[in-house]
Structure 1
Amino acid sequence: MPGDVSALHLVLTGDPALLSIVRLSLIVSLSAVLLAALIGVPFGAMLALVRFPGREGVIVVLNALMGLPPVVVGLAVYLTLSRSGPLGSWGLLFTPQAMVIAQTILVAPIIAALTRQTVEDLWTEYRDELTAMHIGAAGRVATLIVDARFSLVTALLAGFGRAAAEVGAIIIVGGNIEGFTRTMTTAIALETSKGDLPLAIGLGMVLIAIVIAVNAMAWTVRRAGERMAG
């Protein structure tokens, strides 16, 4: 079809508008995953190893947060960053930084929950050895995180997949401003509604390629971990 041919031409020729959108999408999503990892990995590991009253309730809530509706997160961040909100003076609304905040909130529970499960499984396996060596809580967390690094990379890639495909939250807090806060998902939605199918299809091709690449990386990392463990 003509639209498909035009879309492929935009991708192969490196259309500046398309590349700009893809670049911003990757920057926002990767930044969000990095921040979510800094929050989620230590929190998930501590939750796996530390026993305290209400722990089971925290785990239930954390697992529930993995399915946070993006539009609800977007609304909450919008109200927080709006002029009348508590952080309105920061002037972050309708900026890439606001989009990173929204995606971080969405991705952090996923990484934390997957980290908790992974570290908890390892703790069951290595509890006797680490206890006999009199390793403290911080040392246990560090040891198990290092040992689970391949599984945790898979968790990070899962978080990136969620961030890269997200549209509801970032269109609310970013505003979908051309050349400034327009990402692949928001651009696809807008260009489709405008009838500019070549650009929408081209961005869709790139997004699918990224998702496939992320899943291939996750599979490769998992296989590498299995070989090293074997």
Structure 2
Amino acid sequence: MSDDANAFQTALALILGADPDLFGVVALSLRVSLSAVLIAALIALPLGAALALWRFPGRGVVIVILNALMGLPPVVAGLTVYLLLSRAGPLGEFGLLFTPGAMVIAQVILVLPIIAALTRQQIEELHGEYHEQLRSLGLSKPRMIPTLLWDSRFGLMTVILAGFGRASAEVGAVMIVGGNIEGVTRVMTSAIVLETSKGNLPLALGLGIVLLGLVALVNAGAHLMGESARRRLG
């Protein structure tokens, strides 16, 4: 049997045996990514909805910038957070660098533009469809926001899942601001890079399988949410 086959079998054994090192890394990864997505969603959903409803000078520029930030390179986000949180940075006094908190901040910066930009698109389309009905009910724009967000909840869940997929698969930013410290800031993506470089293929493969499974679940969830939304609208 080849070394690759042996490594794959060992990786499966680590997963099925609930290896504490492997699942400790997985647990931290989920905690960081879910926290980042929750914070980003709380900010981005109302921000995207407000941008969809209000017209103001420079709105087009704001939309272009927001769309551009959807493709923000993770290493740039990581470097920005590093400079902010380093000892010489404006937020250095809080001592967040090389902690899970710094990793959450970096992932929020990556995820927030995605959720905000896609939310704006969905709310703008929905508002155009129901504009007359909402006006006839005498709803002001601030009161329209929760109504429109709730009505597009299935589509927005897909948006949030897309944000989670981005956060959980990201490696550059978390390595810069987290430092890949064992038991403290080592998440799945950074651990895969490290263990592969060390030649520890079973653990790297095990983490890769779990990460692939999470990505598959996220995509399946997004697909089901999209189908539910289409059936509801149809």
Name the TM-score class by shorter chain: over 0.9
> Offset at 1:229?
2.7
> Offset at 1:227?
2.5
Cα distance in 2, alignment partners of residues 226 and 165 from structure 1: 28
2:70 maps to which residue? 66
Cα distance in 2, alignment partners of residues 24 and 224 from structure 1: 31
2:30 maps to which residue? 26
The superposition leaves residues 154-190 of structure 1 with CA deviations (integer Å, 9 ceiling, x where unpaired) of 0000000000000000000000000110000000000
Choose from 5, 30, 37 the match for 2:9. 5
Residue type at the aligned position of 2:56: F
2:193 maps to which residue? 189
The superposition leaves residues 127-152 of structure 1 with CA deviations (integer Å, 9 ceiling, x where unpaired) of 11111222101111111101000000
Residue type at the aligned position of 1:6: T
- Please list every run of 5 or more consecutive structure 1 residues that lacks an aligned counterpart in the other structure: none
Choose from 131, 139, 161 the match for 1:157. 161
Three-state SS of the structure 2 residue aligned to 1:221 is helix
Cα distance in 2, alignment partners of residues 69 and 226 from structure 1: 32
1:116 maps to which residue? 120
1:133 maps to which residue? 137
Q: CA RMSD in A?
A: 0.7
2:104 maps to which residue? 100
The superposition leaves residues 22-64 of structure 1 with CA deviations (integer Å, 9 ceiling, x where unpaired) of 0000000000000000111000000000000000110000000
Three-state SS of the structure 1 residue aligned to 2:170 is coil
2:48 maps to 1:41:
no
Cα distance in 2, alignment partners of residues 79 and 121 from structure 1: 38
> Offset at 1:219?
1.1
Cα distance in 2, alignment partners of residues 223 and 115 from structure 1: 18
1:202 maps to which residue? 206
Cα distance in 2, alignment partners of residues 82 and 115 from structure 1: 33
Cα distance in 2, alignment partners of residues 199 and 61 from structure 1: 40
> Offset at 1:221?
1.4
> Offset at 1:216?
0.7
Three-state SS of the structure 2 residue aligned to 1:84 is coil
Cα distance in 2, alignment partners of residues 198 and 224 from structure 1: 39
> Offset at 1:76?
0.7
TM-score computed with the length of structure 2 as normaliser: 0.97
Ranges of 4+ aligned residues in structure 1 off by more than 4 Å: none
Cα distance in 2, alignment partners of residues 84 and 55 from structure 1: 35
- Please list every run of 5 or more consecutive structure 2 residues that lacks an aligned counterpart in the other structure: none
2:152 maps to 1:148:
yes
What's the % identity of the aligned pairs?
62
Residue type at the aligned position of 1:18: L
TM-score computed with the length of structure 1 as normaliser: 0.99
> Offset at 1:83?
0.6
